[in-house]
Amino acid sequence: MSAVTATMSEGDMDARTKPATPDEGARLGFRLTLPAQILVLFISAFPLLMQLYISVTDWSPLSGVGWWNAWEMWNSFANYTDLAADTRFWSALQRTAIVMLVCVPAEFLLGLALATLFADDFPGKRIFYSILLMPMMVVPAVAGYMFFMLFQSGGPVNDILARIIGTPLTIAWLSDPTLALIAVMIADIWQWTPLMFLILLAGLVGVPEDQMKAATLLGANAWQRFTTIVLPKMKTIIIIALAIRVIENFKIFDTLYIMTGGGPGVATETISVYIYKVTTQDLIWGYVAAIALAILIVLSIVAVYAMKRMAKSREVPA
C-alpha cells in the first residue's frame, strides 16, 4: 500500500512539475484576457455600429424619437447619395487635403532638418531642445488665439513686415480667403513641427553609429551617408510620422475654428469644421453619421496602407 501511495505521489509531482505546452499556455492566456477583450470590443464596436445605424436614417435629437427607434425614420441610404452630391462637403474635403499637402511635407522637412541638427552635440543643446518642444505643449485652442492676435491688421506680423519693407501695412490676413488659409497652415506648422522632430530624432538616434563610421572611412560624404544609410534605416519611423500627421490633419479644428471660424464665408472650412457646423447648427445627425463614417473609411485606408508599407520595410533589409 505504501508503495502504491509513493508511486501516486511521484506521479502527481511529475504532473505538477511538467511544463505547460504552448497550446495550453495560449488557451490559459485567452481565458484570462477574454473579459478585457470583450470590453475593448464593446467600446470600439458599439459606437461604430451605432454610427452605421444612425447613418441610414433621418434621425436627429429634435425628431422626438429615441435613438433606439431611429429605424422608424429609415431613408434607404439617402444620406450617402446626398453626400456624393454635396458640393460643400467636397469643398471642405478639398481644403483639408490642401492643408495636409502643405503642412505635412513642411513639418516633415523642418522636423528632419532639426533632427539632423540635434543629432550632434553643441553648446546649449538641452536649452534649445526644451524651447523647440514648447509649441507642441501649447493647447491648440490657446495656439489658435495666439495666432488670431498675431495676424490681426494691426498685429505683430504686419508690424514686422512693415519694418522689413519700410512701408506701413494693414493686411487683413483673416478676412482674405487665401491669406486666412495660409495663416492657419502657418499655425499648424508652428505647433506640430516639434512632434515630427521628436519622432524623427528618435529614429535618427537609432541609426547604427558603426555603419556611419565605416561609410566615412570609405570616403562617403555627409549626403551619401544620409541617403544610403540614414534614410533606409529610418523608413519605418518616417512612415509612422507621416501617417500620424496625415490622420491628425484630417482632424484639425481647434486652432482653425478660433482663428477664422471656418471663414471668411467657408474659405477655411475643413471637414472637421463642416461636421461641427452640420452637427450643432443644422442638427442633421443621420447625415453627420454618414459623413463621419466616410471619413473613417478614408483614414482606415491610410492607416492600412501605412502598416503595409511598414511591413514591407521590415521584410526588405535596408
What single string gives the DSSP state of each residue in 138-192? S-HHHHHHHHHHHTSTTSHHHHHHHHHHTS-----GGGSHHHHHHHHHHHHHHHH
User: Tens digit of pLDDT for each residue in 166-216?
Assistant: 888 888 899 988 899 999 999 999 999 999 999 999 888 887 778 777 877
Cell of 34: 477574454
The CB-side HSE value for 288 (13 A sphere, CA atoms) comes to: 18
Q: Residue 162's domain spans which residues?
A: 86-283
Q: Between residues 311 and 129, which one has the greater pLDDT?
A: 129
In a domain, 265, yes or no: yes
In a domain, 51, yes or no: no
In a domain, 166, yes or no: yes
User: Tens digit of pLDDT for each residue in 27-73?
Assistant: 777 788 888 888 888 887 888 888 888 888 887 777 777 777 777 77
In a domain, 12, yes or no: no
| pLDDT mean over 267-293 | 87
Give the pLDDT confidence score for residue 4 in this predicted structure. Answer: 46
In a domain, 178, yes or no: yes
Beta bridge partners of 57: 74
End-to-end CA distance of the chain, in Å?
A: 69
Asked whether the CA dihedral 172, 259, 181, 110 is positive or negative, the reply is: positive
Run of H or E including 95: helix 87-118
Give the pLDDT confidence score for residue 21 in this predicted structure. Answer: 65
> Does the predicted TM-score (pTM) go above 0.85?
no
Give the pLDDT band (50/70/90) at residue 318: very low
Cis peptide before 317 (omega within 30 of 0): no
153 φ/ψ angles, rounded to the nearest 5 degrees = -60, -40
Tell me how far apart the alpha carbons of residues 112 and 89 are, in angstroms, rounded to a whole number: 34
Domain CATH number, residue 187: 1.10.3720.10
Give the pLDDT band (50/70/90) at residue 15: very low
Beta bridge partners of 74: 57
Cell of 162: 512693415
| pLDDT mean over 140-158 | 90
In a domain, 289, yes or no: no
Give the pLDDT confidence score for residue 8 in this predicted structure. Answer: 46
pLDDT above 60: residue 159 = yes
User: Tens digit of pLDDT for each residue in 88-141?
Assistant: 999 999 999 999 999 999 999 999 999 988 887 778 888 888 888 899 899 999
Residue 6 Cα to chain centre, angstroms: 65
**DSSP secondary structure code for residue 120 in this structure:** S
In a domain, 298, yes or no: no
In a domain, 172, yes or no: yes
Query: Which range has the worst mean pLDDT, 69-78, 100-109, 275-284?
Result: 69-78
Evaluate whether 79 touches 287 at the Cβ level (below 8 Å): yes
User: Tens digit of pLDDT for each residue in 234-250?
Assistant: 888 888 888 889 888 88
Give the pLDDT confidence score for residue 314 in this predicted structure. Answer: 62
Q: Between residues 5 and 132, which one has the greater pLDDT?
A: 132
Q: How many domains does the chain have?
A: 1
Give the pLDDT confidence score for residue 180 in this predicted structure. Answer: 93
Cell of 292: 463621419
